[in-house]
Structure 1
Amino acid sequence: MTVEILYPELCNLYGDRGNIDYLRRCLPADYHQTHIGDEPWFVQHEVDLIYLCSMTERSQERVIRALTPYRERLAELVAAGKHFLLTGNAMEVFGKTIQDGEKTISGLGLLDLTARRILPKRANSLFLGDFQGTKIVGYTSRFSHMESALPPLFTVEKGLGRSEGATVEGIRSGGVLGTYLLGPLLVLNPDFTRWLLDDLGAADTPLAFETEVRRAYQARLEQFQGNIEF
């Protein structure tokens, strides 16, 4: 199994690198890091999971430029159902456009979504939601909202969804999983991580530190289900 981490020198906000740190401890695989200026591993090799996480707005434009020459290969991987985990504002890179005031930034056009930046206002929120009957906890901190006809990844119980007033959060399109949730997501949500490992074909792989992460998850869930302010 092969996992590729895209542009870790730019995509390193909000502790989201912790998703890969945790995945390394759970999943025996070949891990490849692609840096700005490198040809991505996925261009000439097969991959099972591509990970891209939170970045600044300026870095979004750099990442779009870096990936544009490989758009057709990415389209092939998306069509083949390969897994992508896109956290924070990374899914906007794969969308159609990002609107920043009067400026329109073209994305890779691989996902049917559009984003709208709300700079200088920052949207901050704790999050409690659902994924296939499992409670999801996390938080979001971002300068944008998105609109999409794609199915969501999560439904919202408390907190901010993928746009103001939305009852859904993130997107799920084939093997592409996109969410604004930070945290890191995989450490905070052991049942979701278990599902991801199973979906990757690693059903026999145990969760790392399972007792500890489940205890932490239960404590956070009880807190979020209480009277805490969202």
Structure 2
Amino acid sequence: MELKICHLYPDILNLYGDRGNIITMRRRLADRGIAATVDECSIGEALDASQYDIFFIGGGQDFEQEILLRDLAAGKAKEIIAAVEEEKTFLAICGGYQMLGQYYKTWDGHQLDFIGALDLHTVGAKERMIGNYMFRTTDESGGTMVVGFENHSGKTYLGDGVAPLGQMIEGYGNNGEDQTEGARYKNVFATYSHGSLLPKNPVLCDFILRTALERKYGAPIALAPLDDTLEQNAHRYMENRLSKK
């Protein structure tokens, strides 16, 4: 078995060690004898989305998102939308999550129109939502506890047909109002969780990898267990810390 991973804009969207998600996916596949290749695709480089099984988009600041809009409009947006609808697997973090939506409107009224792959939009606020946080994914996304770190001023609201990735337990999540965190549409996993997300959430990582493998090979996949002692210790430490707040 093999998975091909496309890391979009790695030189621009890489806040808070988001590249660690790529490292974790690649390592957990390799430890099971599953081949993984990772290609990077940035500004000015053509994207053929049909070649890949997983797409990763990290987080960035508002001005970095604006820089990418012209490049997305030149062809990548169409490829991304097609891949989403074909149920390719995506992991999108913070700014990458927002970019998959319809638009981002800043607190002073300036609107950035994004690619519209997901029916959601984001509205900027003056106050940032920042800190360690915790949420539980929905049953459709594995029903597991997730710990992470959020730092965003944008408030994201989900539209019809887009489910939350999970429900907040501690922290702000999508908007600090409706207790939702992230988005799940087809095989897109979108979240505000930096930190990076996957190293300390191995159960979620395996769920995402299995989703991609089953989509590619058209059959249920059982992933061999790994020794996750270190990962689970890191996860439990933060979960216990947040549970006491």
Give the aligned CA root-mean-square deviation in angstroms.
1.8
TM-superposition CA deviations, 1:99-158 (whole Å, max 9, x none): 012211111121111111224x32213212111332111121112111112210011112
SS for the counterpart of 1:186 is: coil
Contact 2:48 / 2:79 at 8 angstroms: preserved in 1? no
1:10–1:59 Cα contact (<8 Å) kept: yes
Structure 1 unmatched ranges of 5 or more: none
Alpha-carbon distance in 1 for matches of 2:69, 2:200: 29
Counterpart Cα distance in 1 of 2:110 and 2:120: 17
Q: 2:47 aligns with which of 17, 29, 40?
A: 40
- Structure 1 residue 55 corresponds to structure 2 residue 60: yes
Preserved CA contact (<8 Å) 1:6 1:33:
yes
Indicate the larger mover: 102-111 or 71-80. Answer: 71-80
Measure, in 1, the Cα distance between the counterparts of 2:89 and 2:100.
14
Deviates more, 1:203-212 or 1:136-145: 203-212
Against the structure 1 CA distance between its residues 216 and 135, is the aligned structure 2 distance closer, same or farther, given a 3 Å change threshold?
A: same
Write the mapping of 1:101-112 to structure 2, written as runs, cut at 5 A. Answer: 101-112=108-119
- Are the equivalent residues in 2 in contact too, given 1:129–1:155 (CA < 8 A)? yes
Instruction: Give CA deviations for 1:20-76 in whole Å, capped at 9, x if unaligned.
Output: 11112112312100121111242xx42101100111111111222212222332222
Contact residue 187 and residue 211 of structure 2 kept, 8 A: no
Does 1:125 pair with 2:125? Answer: no
1:137 partner SS = strand
Secondary structure at 1:26 match in 2: helix
Match of 2:14 in 1: 12
> What is the CA–CA distance in structure 1 between the aligned matches of 2:61 and 2:210, rounded to whole Å?
32
Query: Residue 201 of structure 1 corresponds to which residue in structure 2?
Result: 213
Number of aligned residues: 224
Distance 2:180 2:222 in 1: 31
Quote the offset at 1:208 in angstroms: 6.5
Match for residue 211 of structure 1? 229
Residue ranges of structure 2 left out of the alignment (5+ in a row): 30-34, 215-220
Farther off after superposition, 68-77 or 159-168: 68-77
Instruction: Tell me, yes or no, if structure 1 residue 29 matches structure 2 residue 36.
Output: yes
Q: 2:243 aligns with which of 218, 225, 230?
A: 225
Give 1:86's aligned amino acid. Answer: A
Q: 1:163 aligns with which of 169, 175, 189?
A: 175
Partner of 1:135: 145
Equivalent residues of 1:124, 1:141 under 8 A apart: yes
Q: Is the 8 A contact 1:153 1:169 kept in 2?
A: yes
Is the 8 Å Cα contact of residues 18 and 59 (structure 2) preserved in structure 1? Answer: yes
**How many angstroms apart in 2 are the aligned matches of 1:221 and 1:34?**
35
- Is residue 2:92 matched to residue 1:86? yes
- TM superposition outliers: structure 1 runs of 4+ over 3 Å: 202-209
Bigger drift between 146-155 and 203-212 goes to: 203-212
Q: Structure 1 118/192 Cα, relative in aligned 2: closer, same or farther at 3 Å?
A: same
In the TM superposition, what is the alpha-carbon distance from 1:96 to its structure 2 partner?
1.0
Q: Work out the CA distance in 2 between the residues paired with 1:208 and 1:67.
A: 38
Equivalents in 1 of 2:237, 2:98: separation in Å?
32
TM-score relative to the length of structure 1 = 0.90
68-77 vs 33-42, which moves further: 68-77
| Larger mean Cα displacement after TM superposition, 197-206 or 130-139 | 197-206
Question: Bigger shift: 124-133 or 105-114?
Answer: 124-133
Q: Distance in 2 between matches of 1:102 and 1:82?
A: 34
Task: Compute the TM-score of the two structures, normalised by the length of structure 2.
Answer: 0.85
Distance in 2, Cα, partners of 1:123 & 1:94: 20
Check conservation: 2:6, 2:52, Cα contact below 8 A: yes
